[in-house]
Chains A and B, each alone.
Chain A
Amino acid sequence: MKPRRLKLPALLLAVALLAGCRGRGPAGAEAAKAEKTEFMMDTVITITAYGPGAEEAVNAALAEMRRISALMNADDPESEVSRLNANAGKRPVKVSPETFYVLALAQRYSELSEGAFDVTVRPLVKLWGIGKKDKYVPAEEAVARARSLVNYRDLVLDEAAQTAYLERPGMGVDLGGVAKGYGADRAREVLREHGIRSALIDAGGNIWAIGSRPDGRPWRIGIRNPRPEHGGELLAVLPSEDLTLVTSGDYERYFIKDGVRYHHIFDPRTGRPARRAISATIVGQNSAEADVLSTAVFVLGPEKGLALIRRLGRLEAVVVTPDEKIVSTGNLEDRLEVVRREGGTGDAGR
């Protein structure tokens, strides 16, 4: 009987459909996930990737970041940057194309920010030793001496010879404000070469949101509230697809002495911790650039900082002022979900 003979295949089909339809979202939503954390570049780096070959891709991306760290870490005596610093006032040093590129980028932004960010800030970093010395506030004349050794114009980059030279003894380059961003950019390239289209790179708070989440929705990237005791841990959330977010804040490395907060982001023009902002976040598509600019905007403060970002175009910024107001560039105002609880005391159990 024909109608009867149909029942079984129909039932089979129904069962198959039922079983097949209980996945969430499109195919790939259940994609393989790989996540790895490593300590390098003086911070903690986590890469999460989704899709076929995710594990191999994450391993390769971390290896790439290790390679860049070895080139650019000023605290590693074997790095190219350390050789450049050791030869300050003596002779030009040949560097790899990548180190040359990052030095040139950092110098260009030193100029654009009129020295608010300065790639040669190392003498100040070493003098203060925030996070390495115990609540040490240097004397005025020591600060003045270190400050006189900070000047991005005295870094001579010779494109033809691929050399870098610091003109005066005692000078030093510090790529702490750019190497993590450059590393994240390179890690992103490696993930893409491995065919990964959905991933998150967290390089010590520098975020690369690659593609969208496995379920197809945009990644939700939180911006930390610089004062969690006022309104909780989270300042705002930005739905992000193929965006990098980098934040500079005065809460990352600091100490408080006699009621004054001393942190690790210096204003090269005063030689002291910058005071015009307490947090600055840059949103863009190049993490090295966003890394440098988060420092520059933090030092410049909301007015001049946001003006610089608008002048450059193609980037956005969110700044938290010392009185904890949130100011951002126009394009972000509609997209940014501010979640800080107003008037709350947060949950910082003191």
Chain B
Amino acid sequence: MTRGDKLILVLVLVVALGAFGFLALRRQAAPSPAVAQVVVEVDGKEVERFPLANLRAGERRRVRGPLGYSVIEGGENKVRMVSSPCPDKVCVARGWISAPGEAIVCVPNHVVVHVEGGAQKQGYDALTQ
């Protein structure tokens, strides 16, 4: 091998390994965080996201929708809607959610709260209900 060959070889290896590392990192940043996250969306846009464990039992957060404030509350690694300015209160009746893929939907106030990631395997892609 000439010196030029070696130089090319080293360059190729560096580029290849760099690409490896980059791709591997990017894959890990795929949408399944190891820690369960609470995701809050209003009108289909994400407005808030935080680890489920960060919401202490009894701690409340307000989410502003077109009708006013929907209020979510933490429990022991779970979350629920405690009040919402909607007529039917379906979202409040939904109770606690904790597993990835579970969601609380307040249609009148356009608020969706769902859990993403975490260790638990969801086991399904969509839910008919």
Contact = CB atoms under 8 A, between A and B. Distances in A.
Contacts of A246: 128
A90 interface: no
B126 A209 contact: yes
Given A8-B1, A37-B41, A253-B90, A221 B99 contact: no
B87 A200 contact: no
A156 to B, nearest CB: 34
A44 interface: yes
Given A37-B44, A234-B123, A222 B96 contact: no
Nearest to B1: A4
Interface stretch (A10-18, A67-75, A78-86, A327-335): A10-18
Contacts of B20: 19, 22
B98 A207 contact: no
A349 B76 CA distance: 10
Size category, A interface: 35 or more
Contacts of B43: 39
B88 A132 contact: yes
A221 B124 contact: yes
Interface of B: 1, 5, 8-9, 12-13, 16, 19-20, 23, 41, 43-44, 75, 78, 80, 87-88, 90, 95-96, 98-99, 102, 105, 107, 110, 112, 123-129
| For the complex of A and B, 4 pairs with smallest distance between CB atoms | A222-B124, A131-B88, A224-B129, A37-B44
Given A11-B12, A347-B98, A349-B96, 14 more contacts: A8-B9, A12-B12, A15-B12, A22-B23, A38-B44, A43-B107, A44-B112, A131-B87, A202-B127, A205-B129, A222-B124, A222-B126, A234-B127, A252-B129
